Amino acid sequence: MARERQLSRRSLLGGAAAGAVGLAAVSAGPAAAATSRTVDVAIVGGGIAGLTAARDLVAGGRTVAVLEARDRVGGRVVNLKLPGGGYTEGGGEFIGPTQDRIKALADSLGVATFTTYNTGDNLLYKDGKRTPYATGGLLGSVPPVDAAGLANAAIVQSELDSMAAQVPVDAPWTAPKAAEWDKQTFESWLNAKAVIPSAKFLLDVACTSIFSAQPRELSLLYVLYYIAAAGNESTAGTLERLTDTAGGAQESRFVGGSQQVPIKLAATLGDRVVLSAPVRSITGAGGAYVVTADGITVTATRVVVALPPPLAARITYDPPLPAARDQLTQRMPMGSIGKAVAVYDTPFWRADGLNGQAVSDSGVVRSTFDNSPPDASYGALMGFIEADEMRAYDAAGEAEVRAAVLADYANYFGDKAKNPTSFVLQRWDNEGFSRGGPVAYAPPGVLTEYGAALRKPVDGIHWAGTETSTFWTGYMDGAVRSGERAAKEVLAALG
């Protein structure tokens, strides 16, 4: 699988060529000629969170160095190069209403959006039966299971939204029933509430689609916090906003692929961004830190660590981090996720009146989207491989995964799906500097015992990354918000 290492004209779906200017200034590897730097702030991680923090710190008059372990920027946001030309998204992809900060960032960089293809029927594949269904009726995007299941699921969804409304997004561990909710899994709660099997199916699919984790793995309090965070300062979060396409988190995509945002943002920072520089240690306290990475050492007054908690834990800290922070990072695993994209000459499913979105109770891929470019010059079906299904295929060869995915696509969209012109696969579990996605989640007991350490600075070390955001945690918008918040903390501390 080829991943984007540099910007080229061929990569620019929709003519987003403006981002090419300045990218050459980003270091293409370890800084061989400049093995040390002294700056105000060292930033660990060149994803959207770290780059956003760097942008704001530079705007505030501070010097920065961004150290990125990979040979590209973007973190869990990456464009996958297609053999026939063009790109598709291998990681974070969609944005929707109330995701104001990622939209503002994209607008400032000249990265346009287009509406996710949503014309035609969705598909439900359940018990081996394929059922098309309209999304514009009374049920909206809810798959048409039996009436009893729909009624039960509606009641459960309403109750989840009501409970989520009681959870403060900046401190979910302070919710009135936080202790009660955090001592149980989402599954144990669902088993008591979703008593109709088809309702349990709908909520299980929603869970794995959102978290790339099984209900048994998640704290109920964490799920409620995640729902509460699916909004902004003026709009309450809802489960529906997390799961919907139109009006929801999957409403729009970026022209040229989502990695256009971090690529163009990195270009504005020039050689402040150093690639292929995994950070190994952070040493110091009280305003003097030495950050040691492969090929470069940075001395700084403050440090922003913009990594998921379990990856931040792999850095050696001297002095050691407080126990609460270290215990937190030991208890927040990454979800298990992959994306499989099959490319065809045309989006043939559209001629059949389908929008490319399927939900299934079986197979390796249990939810799909139409990932075709805005001009439909070729067709692309994207499938999520998540949670138990991803773990089952982590060690499989790509040919085995491809065969399983295409069998699912044929079940959903017919025999034409068996013969793509190309196929690309991104398995985040096997990505060395991610080890899963889309987010590090909290099992029972974590938020109430250790949640306060999630954003709390440790002396001059500050924490960013989508997991630390109060709104849209787990999403690109949350990453932007976290970078903005960390930059404000640092600027206030430096005076």
Note the pLDDT tens digit of each residue in 51-96: 999 999 999 999 999 999 999 999 999 999 998 888 999 999 999 9
CA 290, CA 302: separation in Å to the nearest integer?
Answer: 10
* 30 pLDDT more than 60: no
* DSSP code for 232: B
Residue 10 confidence (pLDDT): 23
Averaged pLDDT score across all residues of the chain: 92
Q: What is the pLDDT of residue 2?
A: 37
Strand 296-306 versus strand 316-318 pairing type = unpaired
Average pLDDT (212-218) is 98
The pLDDT tens digits of the residues spanning 417-427 come to 999 999 999 99
Write the CA distances from 281 to 208, 302, 309, 413, 454, integer angstroms: 34, 14, 15, 50, 20
Q: What is the pLDDT of residues 84-139, one digit of tens each?
A: 888 999 999 999 999 999 999 999 999 999 999 999 999 999 999 999 999 875 55
What's the rounded mean pLDDT across residues 395-404?
Answer: 98
pLDDT band at 34 (very low <50, low <70, confident <90, very high): low
CA distances 278 to 57, 137, 170, 284, 288, Å, are 21, 50, 30, 18, 20
pLDDT score, position 63: 98
Query: Residue 197 — very low, low, confident or very high, per pLDDT cuts 50/70/90?
Result: very high
- pLDDT exceeds cutoff 50 at 261: yes
Strands (DSSP E) along 347-432, which ranges? 354-360, 367-370, 379-386, 422-427
Judged against a pLDDT cut of 90, whether residue 444 lies above it is answered with yes
Whether the per-residue pLDDT at 29 is higher than 70: the answer is: no
Residue-level pLDDT at 13 = 27
pLDDT class of 285 with cuts at 50, 70, 90: confident
| pLDDT at residue number 11 | 27
52, 58, 60, 64: CA torsion to nearest 10: 100
User: What is residue 85's predicted lDDT score, i.e. its pLDDT?
Assistant: 85
Confidence of residue 287 (pLDDT cuts 50, 70, 90): confident
Using CA atoms, how far apart are residues 105 and 487, in angstroms rounded to an integer?
A: 15
Q: What is the mean pLDDT of residues 325-333?
A: 98
Looking at residue 398, its pLDDT comes to 97
Residue 21 has pLDDT above 70, yes or no: no
Check residue 459 and give its pLDDT.
96
pLDDT digits (tens, 9 = 90+) for 170-196: 999 999 999 999 999 999 999 999 999
C-alpha to C-alpha distance for 149 and 100, rounded to whole angstroms: 35
CA distance 174 to 182: 11
Contact 279, 306 (CB under 8 A): no
Residue 49, both tokens: 């969170």
Residue 479 has pLDDT above 70, yes or no: yes
Q: Is the pLDDT of residue 286 over 90?
A: no
- At residue 166, does pLDDT exceed 70? yes
User: 19 or 383, which is more confident?
Assistant: 383
